[in-house]
Amino acid sequence: MSSQNSLSDQNLSLDETAKNMTSEAKIITRNLDFFYGDFQALKNINTQIDAHTVTALIGPSGCGKSTYLRVLNRMNDLIEGAKVKGEVLIDGQNIYDKKLDINELRKNVGMVFQKPTPFPKSIFENVAYGLRVNGMTENIKERVEKSLQQAALWNEVKDHLKKSALGLSGGQQQRLCIARTIAIQPDIILMDEPTSALDPISASQIEDLIMELKERFTIIIVTHNMQQARRVSDKTAFFYLGDLEEYDETPKIFESPASEKTQNYIRGKFG
């Protein structure tokens, strides 16, 4: 109990330092290099992502988009031989600091995967999972309901919350995963191609959802769908072979990109 309190105290002070920093920057990466063993997957990435914006990550397969995303919640820590160099600041705090509580970080930086990943539990328990493991068990029913509502899933599942989540459709499962993520009230939500495994209707439902969630969260989304990037994002980052080739306001990237590579990629994708 006491450790939990001290953790949240720490968070408070973190929030304050963030506010004092005058800048709106939620996430900053400085000279970020990333290695899988000897292979360098990210090269000197410098980004600043502001709070309550949607950032789209685009680029050909294997260019490092997922790697970048997974640097931000330290999911790459699970991979043997993975190594990070440079600085990654969230709210001004270096998340690769040795003293940082990694579970606390991940609670603050939610993640939605490409394939829906419901746990083999009931719909209710899927959403409650993050709450339970983080000790947020007060008003659990209300929290679950609210999250499902925010994820635009409540009306479809409210009558069978006890049924297995594995029985839901792909689109419903993905919205369930979003509900599960927002239930623990993170600041940041990372989405790795969240609609690429879904049919167009489910995909557009998720897109609408992203636009709504922007009010309350900072969202970073990897997508191969250029229309989607254009519709939902404020800023777009184009990765190419581990480099951040171009990073700018979304309209700028799509209408007058500075880099020829960006232009070719976007044109190829639209063409």
Partner 1 sequence: MMTRKKIFEKIIEAVIYASGTATTIVVLLIVFFLFREGLGLFRQAPMQKTYTVAVHPQNPVRQLSIDQLKAIFSKKEKNWKTFGGKDQSIETFSSEDIEKHLKGQDLGEAFSKLKGLVTTYAQNKENLVVVMPKKFMPNKFVPIPTEHMSIGAFFGGKEWRPTSEPIHSFGVLPIIAGTLLVCFGALLFAIPTAIIAAIYLVEIANKKVRNIINPFIELLAGIPSVIYGFFGLVVIVPFIQKTFALDMGETALAGSIILGIISLPTIITISEDAIRSVPRELKEASFALGANHLQTIFKVIVPYALSGIVSAAILGVGRTVGETMAVLMVTGNAAQMPSSFLDSVRVITSTVAAELGETAQGGIHYRALFMLACVLFILTFWFNLLAEWIVAKKTQK
CB of 36 to ligand ADP, least distance (A): 3
Residue nearest to Mg ion (CB): 66
Question: Does residue 266 touch ligand ADP according to CB under 6 A?
Answer: no
Q: What would the DSSP string read from start to end of 163-200?
A: SBGGGS-HHHHHHHHHHHHHHT--SEEEEESTTTTS-H
Question: Does residue 143 touch partner 1 according to CB under 8 A?
Answer: no
Question: Does residue 63 touch ligand ADP according to CB under 6 A?
Answer: yes
One residue of 14, 25, 140, 166 binding partner 1 per CB under 8 A:
166
Question: Does residue 103 touch partner 1 according to CB under 8 A?
Answer: yes
Which region among 65-73, 134-142, 205-213, 230-238 touches Mg ion (by CB under 5 A)?
Answer: 65-73
- Of residues 75 and 237, the one with the C-beta less far from partner 1: 75
Q: What is the DSSP letter of 115?
A: S
Nearest Cα neighbor of 170 from 106, 110, 117 is 117
Rounded to whole angstroms, the Cα distance separating 32 from 263 reads: 25
One residue of 90, 153, 161, 184 binding partner 1 per CB under 8 A:
184
Rounded to whole angstroms, the Cα distance separating 11 from 19 reads: 12
- Of residues 68 and 124, the one with the C-beta less far from Mg ion: 68
CB of 132 to Mg ion, least distance (A): 29
